[in-house]
């Protein structure tokens, strides 16, 4: 935070700090002072051409660092004005590089002065942070300083304060990153910020703002990380246009939604692009040693990493050959860096191509409305002194006790976020009765004869149901083993015709039904006890 006007060093006198001819006593504004200074005529021309001179007329208190003509020459001023006019045809002032990168990079809100002890960071009107020292701003030396006016403080400087791109801005300034930049920029929304805006007169009961400041909002930043924020540190591994094209062509096959899906094309575009970009952003807060190779020697967590799915979006040996950070062309930014790889080293199996686990005991993951269970549903917990404690996920499971002698209990489990054209191995994990009751009866301890059906939407949006064949024994039935946690492989390399990613839970499901009947009751029981369902990408 910069030194405020009321914090003048004790050894400084008013005259030493602000000058004996401070314009404040004459009622002179910063703009009037600039207009009367022939050395600032080019800075004035740019202010007027961009209509940013109105900022200096308002009631807002500001600090202005004005480059003199010897550094902001006629030619440079003309170039800035011409660029502003050209960009104005297609861009709002919020995105205009002259307004944002030059004018607002030389103006700060509020009064700011310096003393012999100043060594701070100053927030400029464009949100950038510039190092402020006793004799310079952003490494540019002061010619005059601390000139107090009625609406702020004026400095003249011997150079142009450099504008440093943040990670998001850098994407738009490296030609071979156009694809990523266009995708992210398409989600830009600017929201009015009343506190930072410069108010003018009131007309018809409403304030007319001399400078309406808007803040960038982008929904994709919530998915990836706020790479536009100047007060954070981010690294981003960004695919080139060629890489983007290749990855997009491959990944869009995973998001073949049925034809009845609302906004189908938009969903395909967004999910495909996010599959490329999720896992590419790394924040300092999640990696304490982001700027230290030694700390990154073992692993790096991206912003999409979660302790609940810790194996995804985490990269081992990121600096070694084939690692996520290896062989990158780096572009330094104001809040981190953009890293352009020579090869794409992010495997989809470490990011979005994930296994799906449905815990049996979770009621919201089961469908009893469309699938009558024919039994009483109970959640069972494995006691700490039970031999099976620690052998079942979350030490709990669902049990469906049959409602009558011939009842065949069933349960449907939702399978959310399945991807299309992706071979999956599907498993059902059964729990034994003695996992919650070591004194369970012999009948309760019998194995089960079960049947599995898989439901999903076809391309037209109609429900398709497939009865699963037993790959090992043939036929439509599967047989569990007694008194063990039994993981039954339901299907190998099963492909869903359409994707259910991000859609309603009932888009895809696995149904489990007991099938013992007649004379089989001495061999099999009709009580379902299910720990979880696992759907994982098939590996050759």
Give the pLDDT score at 6. 37
CA 35 to chain CA mean position, Å: 46
Question: What's this model's pTM, rounded to 2 decimal places?
Answer: 0.84
In this structure, the answer to whether residues 296 and 225 fall within a common structural domain is yes
- Position 416 in a domain: yes
Indicate the pLDDT class of residue 412, thresholds 50, 70 and 90: very high
The H or E element containing residue 381 is strand 375-381
In this predicted structure, the answer to whether residue 353 has a pLDDT above a threshold of 70 is yes
In this predicted structure, the answer to whether residue 366 has a pLDDT above a threshold of 70 is yes
Is there a contact between 283 and 232 (Cβ–Cβ < 8 Å)?
Answer: yes
CA 123 to chain CA mean position, Å: 25
In this structure, the answer to whether residues 317 and 360 fall within a common structural domain is no
Higher per-residue confidence, 366 vs 180: 180
Average pLDDT, the chain: 90
Indicate the pLDDT class of residue 336, thresholds 50, 70 and 90: very high
Q: Rounded to an integer, what distance in angstroms lies between the CA atom of residue 286 and that of residue 283?
A: 6
Write the CATH number for 109.
Answer: 2.30.180.10
Q: What is the pLDDT of residues 55-90, one digit of tens each?
A: 888 678 999 999 999 999 999 999 999 999 999 998
Write the CATH number for 509.
Answer: 2.60.120.260
Give the pLDDT score at 204. 73
The residue assigned the tokens 């049947």 is 451
- Position 444 in a domain: yes
In this structure, the answer to whether residues 378 and 509 fall within a common structural domain is yes
In this structure, the answer to whether residues 153 and 229 fall within a common structural domain is no
Indicate the pLDDT class of residue 10, thresholds 50, 70 and 90: very low
Is there a contact between 532 and 430 (Cβ–Cβ < 8 Å)?
Answer: no
Which one, of 502, 503, 509, 501, lies nearest residue 533 by Cα? 509
- Position 128 in a domain: yes
The percent of residues in the chain predicted with pLDDT above 90, rounded, is 75
Q: What is the pLDDT of residues 188-238, one digit of tens each?
A: 887 777 776 667 677 777 776 666 666 778 999 999 999 999 999 999 999
Boundary-marking domain end, from 346, 372, 394: 346
Residue 208 has φ and ψ, to the nearest 5°, of -95, 120
Q: Give the CA-trace dihedral at 264, 269, 271, 274, to 10 degrees.
A: -170
In this predicted structure, the answer to whether residue 162 has a pLDDT above a threshold of 80 is yes
Q: Rounded to an integer, what distance in angstroms lies between the CA atom of residue 274 and that of residue 435?
A: 42
Structure tokens at 175: 């030609």
Q: Quote the number of domains for the chain.
A: 3
Boundary-marking domain end, from 346, 381, 399: 346
Q: What is the pLDDT of residues 463-479, one digit of tens each?
A: 999 999 998 888 999 99
Give the pLDDT score at 203. 76
Q: What is the pLDDT of residues 246-292, one digit of tens each?
A: 999 999 999 999 999 999 999 999 999 999 999 999 998 888 666 66
Q: Rounded to an integer, what distance in angstroms lies between the CA atom of residue 369 and that of residue 416?
A: 17
Q: Would you list the DSSP string of 252-298?
A: GGGG---TTSTTHHHHHHHHHHHHHHTT-EEETTT-TTTT-TTTTSS
The residue assigned the tokens 């020459």 is 73
Q: What is the pLDDT of residues 123-151, one digit of tens each?
A: 999 999 999 999 999 999 999 999 999 99
- Position 266 in a domain: yes
- Position 13 in a domain: yes
In this structure, the answer to whether residues 272 and 126 fall within a common structural domain is no
- Position 499 in a domain: yes
Which one, of 74, 72, 69, 124, lies nearest residue 101 by Cα? 124
In this structure, the answer to whether residues 391 and 307 fall within a common structural domain is no
In this structure, the answer to whether residues 178 and 319 fall within a common structural domain is yes
Neighbours of 306 (CB within 10 A): 11
Indicate the pLDDT class of residue 19, thresholds 50, 70 and 90: very low
Domain that includes residue 275, residue range: 167-346
- Position 334 in a domain: yes
In this structure, the answer to whether residues 77 and 178 fall within a common structural domain is no
In this structure, the answer to whether residues 200 and 107 fall within a common structural domain is no
Q: Rounded to an integer, what distance in angstroms lies between the CA atom of residue 193 and that of residue 212?
A: 8
Higher per-residue confidence, 300 vs 59: 300
Give the pLDDT score at 293. 62
In this structure, the answer to whether residues 233 and 298 fall within a common structural domain is yes
Residue 181 has φ and ψ, to the nearest 5°, of -60, -45
**Beta-bridge partners for 333:** 336
DSSP H stretches of helix in 335-385: none
Give the pLDDT score at 403. 84
Q: Rounded to an integer, what distance in angstroms lies between the CA atom of residue 135 and that of residue 224?
A: 39
Query: Under the phi-then-psi rule, with left for phi > 0, alpha for psi from -120 to 50, and beta for the rest, what region is 146?
Result: left
Boundary-marking domain end, from 346, 379, 404: 346
Q: Rounded to an integer, what distance in angstroms lies between the CA atom of residue 273 and that of residue 244?
A: 9
In this structure, the answer to whether residues 209 and 302 fall within a common structural domain is yes
Q: Rounded to an integer, what distance in angstroms lies between the CA atom of residue 533 and that of residue 362?
A: 11
Q: Rounded to an integer, what distance in angstroms lies between the CA atom of residue 173 and that of residue 175?
A: 6
- Position 351 in a domain: no
In this structure, the answer to whether residues 173 and 290 fall within a common structural domain is yes
């Amino acid at each position: 935070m910069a030194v405020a006007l009321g914090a003048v060093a004790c050894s400084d006198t008013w005259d030493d700090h602000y000058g004996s001819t401070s314009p404040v006593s004459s009622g002179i504004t910063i703009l009037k002072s600039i207009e009367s200074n022939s050395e600032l005529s080019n800075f004035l021309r740019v202010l007027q051409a961009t209509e940013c001179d109105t900022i200096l007329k308002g009631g807002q208190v500001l600090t202005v660092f004005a480059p003199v003509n010897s550094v902001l020459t006629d030619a440079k001023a003309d170039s800035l004005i011409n660029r502003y006019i050209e960009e104005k045809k297609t861009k709002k002032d919020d995105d205009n590089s002259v307004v944002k990168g030059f004018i607002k990079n030389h103006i700060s809100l509020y009064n700011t002065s310096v003393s012999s002890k100043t060594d701070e960071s100053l927030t400029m009107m464009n949100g950038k942070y510039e190092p402020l020292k006793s004799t310079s701003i952003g490494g540019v030396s002061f010619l005059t300083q601390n000139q107090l006016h009625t609406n702020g403080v004026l400095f003249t400087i011997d150079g142009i304060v450099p504008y440093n791109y943040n990670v998001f801005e850098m994407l738009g300034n490296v030609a071979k990153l156009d694809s990523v930049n266009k995708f992210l920029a398409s989600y830009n929304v600017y929201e009015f910020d009343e506190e930072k805006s410069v108010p003018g007169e009131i007309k018809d009961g409403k304030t007319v703002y001399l400078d309406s400041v808007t803040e960038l909002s982008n929904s994709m930043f919530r998915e990836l990380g706020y790479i536009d924020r100047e007060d954070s540190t981010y690294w981003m591994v960004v695919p080139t246009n060629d890489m983007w094209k290749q990855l997009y062509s491959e990944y869009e096959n995973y998001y073949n939604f049925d034809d009845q899906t609302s906004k189908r094309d938009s969903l395909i575009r967004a999910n495909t692009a996010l599959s490329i970009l999720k896992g590419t952003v790394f924040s300092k807060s999640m990696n304490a040693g982001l700027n230290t190779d030694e700390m990154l020697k073992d692993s790096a967590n991206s912003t999409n990493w979660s302790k609940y799915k810790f194996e995804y979006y985490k990269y081992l040996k990121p600096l070694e050959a084939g690692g996520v950070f290896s062989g990158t062309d780096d572009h330094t930014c104001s809040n981190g860096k953009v890293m352009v790889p020579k090869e794409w080293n992010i495997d989809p199996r470490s990011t979005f191509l994930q296994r799906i686990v449905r815990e049996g005991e979770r009621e919201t993951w089961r469908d009893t409305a469309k699938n009558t269970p024919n039994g009483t549903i109970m959640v069972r917990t494995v006691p700490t002194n039970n031999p099976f404690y620690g052998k079942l996920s979350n030490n709990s499971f669902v049990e469906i006790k049959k409602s009558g002698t011939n009842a065949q209990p069933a349960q449907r489990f939702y399978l959310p976020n399945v991807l299309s054209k992706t071979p999956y191995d599907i498993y059902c994990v059964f729990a034994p009765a003695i996992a919650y009751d070591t004194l369970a009866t012999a009948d309760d301890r019998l194995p089960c004869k079960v049947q599995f059906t898989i439901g999903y939407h076809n391309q037209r949006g109609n429900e398709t149901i497939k009865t699963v064949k037993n790959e090992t024994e043939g036929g439509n039935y599967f047989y569990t083993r007694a008194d063990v946690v039994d993981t039954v492989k339901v299907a190998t390399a099963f492909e869903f015709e359409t994707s259910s990613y991000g859609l309603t839970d009932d888009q895809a499901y696995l149904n489990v039904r007991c099938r013992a009947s007649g004379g089989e009751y001495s061999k099999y029981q009709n009580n379902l006890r299910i720990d979880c369902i696992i759907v994982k990408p098939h590996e050759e």
